[in-house]
C-alpha cells in the first residue's frame, strides 16, 4: 500500500477543489432500522454505505471516537472496519480521528499507537492545554496531521478561549495565542492544522490572519450546529476542511439514507465552490 502522507494528501484534495469532510458520527440510536441487525457490524455497514455514496465528493472523513467507544468492543471493531474500508475503496481520502487527545509525553505514545497504528488514522485532533513539550510526540509524526483545538464551536468556548494573555506589549485572546504558537513554533514538520468552529466566523478570520493562508483549518459546525457557510468561506479564505456530520449522514432515516447523504454532500460541495469562486479564491489556488 502506498505511504499515506497527510500534507500531500490534503494538498491534492485542495487542488481538486474538494473541501467537504463528512463526520462519521454514527450514533447507534439514529442508524436507520433498515441496516440494523442486532449486535453485528450494523454501524460499520452504515458507514460503508455513506462512504460508497460520497467518497468522490469529499476530502476527508472524520469519525468521532466517542460514538464508537461508547459501545465498547463492538464499537471499536466497527471503527477499525470503517477505516479499513475507506482505505480500500477511497484510498486518496483522508481519515481524521476526532479523538481530542493530549497528556504527558509518555502517555501520548499510547495515544499515538492507538490512533496511527491500530486505527490507521491519517490525522488526529489534540488539545493544547499541556503545551508543546507534552505534545511533542504527536508533532514528531511527520507524515500525520495534527489538528490543534483553537477556537471551538460550542457556546461555552469563551470561558477560557477569550481570556486575554500578555504578548509583549499587547493583550490578545488565548485562542489567538494558541494559533500563533502552533504556526510559529509547533509546525516544524509542516504537519499542523487548527480547529476553528464555523459558529465563530470573526474569530476564524482572526486566526487565518495569524497563521497565514497555507495552514489547514478544520472547520466543524456547518449544518446541524448552525454555522454560516458563506461567512465561513469569507473568513477562512482557503485551505479549509469543512465538516458536516448529522446534516449529511442522518439526512434521511429511511432506506434511502445513503442517497440522501450524497445529495447533502453534493449540495455542500457545490456551495463551497460557489462561494469560493464568488470571493475570488478557492482551496487550491488564488
Catalytic residues: 100
CB of 241 closer than 8 Å to CB of 196: no
CB of 182 closer than 8 Å to CB of 194: yes
Q: Report the residue count for the chain.
A: 286
Residue 119 neighbours by CB under 8 Å, 6+ apart: 79, 80, 83, 97
- The distance from CA 156 to its chain's CA centroid, rounded to whole angstroms, is 20
The secondary structure of residue 36, as a DSSP letter, is: -
Task: Please provide residue 169's backbone torsions phi and psi, each rounded to the nearest 5 degrees.
Answer: -105, 20
Residue 26, CA atoms < 13 Å, CB-side half-sphere: 31
**CA distance linking residue 213 with residue 222, whole number of Å:** 21
Residue 220, CA atoms < 13 Å, CB-side half-sphere: 23
CB of 262 closer than 8 Å to CB of 218: no
Residue 222: beta bridge partners? 227
The grid coordinates of residue 208 equal 487565518
- The closest alpha carbon to 94, from 23, 148, 37, belongs to 23
Amino acid at each position: 500500500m502506498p505511504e499515506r502522507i497527510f500534507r500531500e494528501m490534503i494538498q491534492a484534495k485542495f487542488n481538486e477543489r474538494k473541501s467537504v469532510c463528512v463526520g462519521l458520527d454514527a450514533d447507534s440510536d439514529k442508524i436507520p432500522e433498515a441496516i440494523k441487525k442486532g449486535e453485528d457490524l450494523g454501524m460499520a455497514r452504515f458507514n460503508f454505505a455513506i462512504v460508497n455514496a460520497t467518497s468522490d465528493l469529499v476530502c476527508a472523513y472524520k469519525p468521532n471516537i466517542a460514538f464508537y467507544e461508547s459501545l465498547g468492543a463492538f464499537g471499536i471493531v466497527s471503527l477499525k472496519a470503517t477505516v479499513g474500508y475507506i482505505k480500500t475503496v477511497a484510498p486518496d481520502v483522508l481519515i481524521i480521528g476526532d479523538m481530542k487527545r493530549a497528556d504527558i509525553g509518555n502517555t501520548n505514545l499510547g495515544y499515538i499507537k492507538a490512533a496511527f497504528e491500530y486505527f490507521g488514522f491519517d490525522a488526529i485532533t489534540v488539545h493544547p492545554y499541556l503545551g508543546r513539550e507534552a505534545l511533542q510526540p504527536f508533532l514528531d509524526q511527520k507524515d500525520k496531521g495534527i489538528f490543534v483545538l483553537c477556537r471551538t464551536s460550542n457556546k461555552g468556548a469563551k470561558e477560557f478561549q477569550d481570556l486575554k494573555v500578555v504578548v509583549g506589549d499587547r493583550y490578545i485572546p488565548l485562542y489567538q495565542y494558541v494559533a500563533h504558537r502552533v504556526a510559529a513554533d509547533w509546525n516544524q514538520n509542516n504537519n499542523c492544522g487548527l480547529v476553528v468552529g464555523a459558529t465563530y466566523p470573526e474569530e476564524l478570520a482572526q486566526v487565518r490572519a495569524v497563521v497565514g493562508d497555507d495552514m489547514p483549518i478544520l472547520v466543524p459546525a456547518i449544518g446541524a450546529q448552525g454555522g454560516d457557510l458563506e461567512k465561513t468561506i469569507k473568513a477562512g479564505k482557503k485551505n479549509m476542511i469543512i465538516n458536516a456530520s448529522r446534516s449529511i449522514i442522518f439526512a434521511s432515516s429511511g432506506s434511502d439514507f445513503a442517497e440522501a447523504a450524497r445529495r447533502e454532500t453534493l449540495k455542500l460541495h457545490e456551495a463551497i465552490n460557489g462561494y469560493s469562486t464568488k470571493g475570488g479564491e478557492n482551496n487550491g489556488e488564488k
